[in-house]
Amino acid sequence: MSDITSSAFIREDLVAERPAPVKTTGFIGLVRTRLFNSPTNILLTIAGALLLWFTIVPSVKFLVVDAVWSGNDRTSCLAETAGFAVGACWPYIQAKLPQLIYGFYPEAERWRVNLTLVLAVVLLLPLLIPRLPAKGFNAGLFFFAFPMVAFFLLHGGGLGGFGLSWTAGLLQLFDDSIIGAGQAVLSLSKSSSIGPLLWVVGNLILLVGTAIYWLIYPLTWLRDQLQGTGQSVWTDFAITAVVVTLIAFFLGGGVRAGWRALASSIAAFVAVAIIIKLMGLDHGGLPIVQTNLWGGLLVTLVVSVTGIVTSLPIGIVLALGRRSTIPLIRIFSIAFIEFWRGVPLITVLFFATYMLPLFLPGNFTVDGLVRALIGISLFTGAYQAENVRGGLAAIPRGQGEAAAALGLSWWKMTSLIVLPQALRHVIPNLVNSFISLFKDTSLVSIVALFDLLGSLRASFSDPKWSTPSTAFTGFAFAGIIYFIFCFGMSRYSLFVEHRLNAHRRN
C-alpha cells in the first residue's frame, strides 16, 4: 500500500521551454551536426571541399574568368593579343553556332527547322504538364500528326499518290522480287547438276509471281489510271479514306458499336487532308533538302527523339512477346532481343549504312539517315524490352487473374492493368536507356552523319578559328548542351515517377 502512494506524482511547477544546449538548427547547426560531427565526417568534409576546389575553380576560370567573349577570328583568342592565358574562346562558338545547329542545311530554308522545333516544343510541353487537359488529343497530335508534318517540313517534297498507290507500289515491289527470285533460280538450273529440280522450282516460283501479278492487277491498273489524271493525290486520298474508314467501322463493331471508330477515322483523315492542303503536298510541297545536308543539333534531336519515341513501343511488344505462351512468338522475341543486345551499336550502324543496301532489292533505296534511325530504334528497343520485362516480372499473377475474372480480354488486361503497373516500376530504367540513347546518337558521326558532335569536330578544321583552346571550348559547349538535355530528362523522370507512384505512398 505504501509503495503505491510513494510512486504517485503530481506536477506542481510546469517546466519552462529553454534553448537546446548545442545549436542544432541554422548554418552553425548544420556545420556541427552534419559536417563535423565525427572524425570520418570531418575527413569526408575536407576531401569534398578539396574536390570542389580542384574541379569547380578551374572550370569557372576556364569558362568565365579567362574566357574571351568577343572577336572576329582566331587572333582575338590568342594569348598574344588578349594579353593573358586564354580560356574558352566563345566568339568561335558564336561564329559556328548555325553550323552546330543546322549543319549544312541551306540558309534560306533554315526557318523550316526553326518552325519544326517550335512546333515540337509547343506540342510537347503541354503533354509534359499533367495539369493541362486534352492529353489524348495532344498525344495524337504529337505522335501522329507531328512526325508527318516534321518530315515534310524538314525534308520537303510532296505526295505523288496516297494509300492506294503506296499499297500498289509495295505489292508490286514484293511481286517483282518474287519473279526476280524465280528467274534467278531458272538461270541457275542451266548450269547446276540438279538442273531439272531447279527448273521445276523456278517455274513454280514464276507461276506464283505471275498469279500475284494478276491478283494485284486491278490495284496497279487503278493506280496507273489515277496517275494519268491531274488530281491523282486527292482521288487516291478519297479512295483510301473511304476504304480505311469502312474497315475501321466494321472492325470497330459495325452498326452496333462501330460509330466511334468511324468518327475517329474520319477525323484523322480530315486532319491529314488539312495538312496536305496547308503544306501544298498535293503539288510538290517545299523544296527538298537531302538528309546528307542535315547536321548539328538538328540531327542529334531527330535521331534521339525518333529513337526514344519508337524504342519504347518496340520494347513493350518484344517484352510481351518474350512472355508469350505461343512458342513461335516467344522464340522470335528472345532471338531478336539477344541479337541486338549482343552486337555493339557501332556495328549496327555500320551494318545499317553499308551492308543493308546490298540486301535490299535493286531499285529499293533507303535514305542514310532513315537507315541509322531504324538501326538505333531496334537497338534501343531491345534494351527497353529487357527493362519492361523486369517490370512485368514484378506484377503478381493475381493482378492478371483478377482482370480476367472481371471479363477483360488479354489486350485490355495488358494495356489497362499489367503494363501501367509494370512501366511505373521501371521508369528509372527506361529513362536511363533514353539518356544513354541520347548520348549514343553521337555515334552516328562515324557513318557520315554530322550530328552535334560531328559538326563540332568538322568545325575544328577551320583555320580561321584554330587556336589552342578551340577544341576545349567546343567540347565544353557540346558537353553543356548534352548535359542540359540529359539532366532535364532525369529531373522530369523523377517528377513523373513521384506522380505516378502516388498510390504507393500512404
Partner 1 sequence: MSNSPIVKISGLNKWYGEFHVLRDIDLSVEKGERIVICGPSGSGKSTLIRCINALEEFQEGEIVVDGIELGPNLKHVDAVRREVGMVFQSFNLFPHLTVLENCTLAPIWVRNIPKKDAEINAMKFLERVKIPHQANKFPGQMSGGQQQRVAIARALTMNPKVMLFDEPTSALDPEMVKEVLDTMVDLAREGMTMLVVTHEMGFAREVANRVVFMDAGQIIEANTPNEFFANPQHARSKLFLSQILR
- Catalog residues that contact partner 1 under the rule CB under 8 A: 257, 396, 398-399, 401-409, 412, 416-417, 420-421, 424, 500, 502-504, 506
C-alpha span between 346 and 136 (Å, rounded): 37
Closer to partner 1 at the Cβ: 39 or 396?
396
C-beta of 218 vs 254, nearer to partner 1: 254
Nearer to partner 1, 277 or 499 (CB): 499
As measured in angstroms, the least distance from the Cβ of 258 to partner 1 is 12
Nearer of residues 58 and 130 to partner 1, judged by Cβ: 130
Please tell me the distance from the alpha carbon of residue 122 to that of residue 424, in angstroms, as a whole number.
Answer: 26
Q: Dihedrals φ, ψ of 89, to 5°?
A: -105, 80
Query: Shortest Cβ distance from residue 321 to partner 1 (Å)?
Result: 22
The whole-angstrom separation of Cα 330 and Cα 334 is 6
Closest to partner 1 by CB, 65 vs 394, is: 394
Give the helix ranges, DSSP H, for 155-194. 163-189
**Close Cβ partners of 332 (under 8 Å, ≥ 6 residues apart):** 321
DSSP string over 388-425: HHHHHHTS-HHHHHHHHHTT--HHHIIIIIIHHHHHHH
Shortest distance (Å) from residue 135 CB to partner 1: 15
Which phi-psi region, left, alpha or beta, contains residue 365 (left: φ > 0; alpha: ψ -120 to 50)? beta
Pick between residue 118 and residue 257 the one whose CB is nearest to partner 1.
257
Closer to partner 1 by Cβ: residue 416 or 446? 416
In sign, the C-alpha dihedral spanning 11, 17, 18, 20 is positive
Of residues 257 and 484, the one with the C-beta less far from partner 1: 257
Q: What cell was used for 393?
A: 516480372
Taking the complex as a whole, how short is the minimal distance between the CB of residue 329 and partner 1, in angstroms? 20
Q: What's the min distance (Å) between Cβ of 327 and partner 1?
A: 18
The least CB distance from residue 256 to partner 1, in Å, is 10
Shortest spacing between CB 263 and partner 1, in angstroms: 15
Report the nearest approach of partner 1 to the CB of residue 497 (Å): 13
Nearer to partner 1, 20 or 502 (CB): 502
CA angle 307, 448, 484 (to 5 degrees): 45
CA atoms within a 13 Å half-sphere pointing along the CA-CB vector of 186 = 12
In whole angstroms, give the CA distance from residue 319 to residue 337. Answer: 9
How large is the greatest C-alpha to C-alpha distance in the chain, in angstroms? 122
| Distance in Å, CB of 394 to partner 1, minimum | 12
Beta carbon of residue 490, minimum distance to partner 1 (angstroms, whole number): 23
Length reported for the chain: 506
How far apart, in whole angstroms, are the C-alpha atoms of residue 227 and residue 234? 11
Q: Report whether 126 contacts 141 (CB < 8 A).
A: no
Q: How many CB atoms lie within 10 A of CB 374?
A: 17
Do 429 and 390 meet the contact criterion of CB atoms below 8 Å apart? yes
Mind spelling out the 3-state secondary structure of 42-109? HHHHHHHHHHHHHHHHHHHHHHHHCCECCCCCHHHHCHHHHCCCCCCEHHHHHHHHHHHHHECCCHHH
Cβ proximity to partner 1, 22 vs 502, nearer residue: 502
Q: What's the distance, CA 297 to chain centroid?
A: 14
CB 387 within 8 A of CB 426: yes
Contact indicator for 252, 258 with CB cutoff of 8 Å: yes
**Alpha carbon distance 266, 249 (integer Å):** 10
Q: What's the min distance (Å) between Cβ of 499 and partner 1?
A: 12
Least Cβ distance, residue 100 to partner 1 (angstroms): 43
In the complex with partner 1, which residue's Cβ is closer, 1 or 405? 405
Nearer to partner 1, 76 or 421 (CB): 421
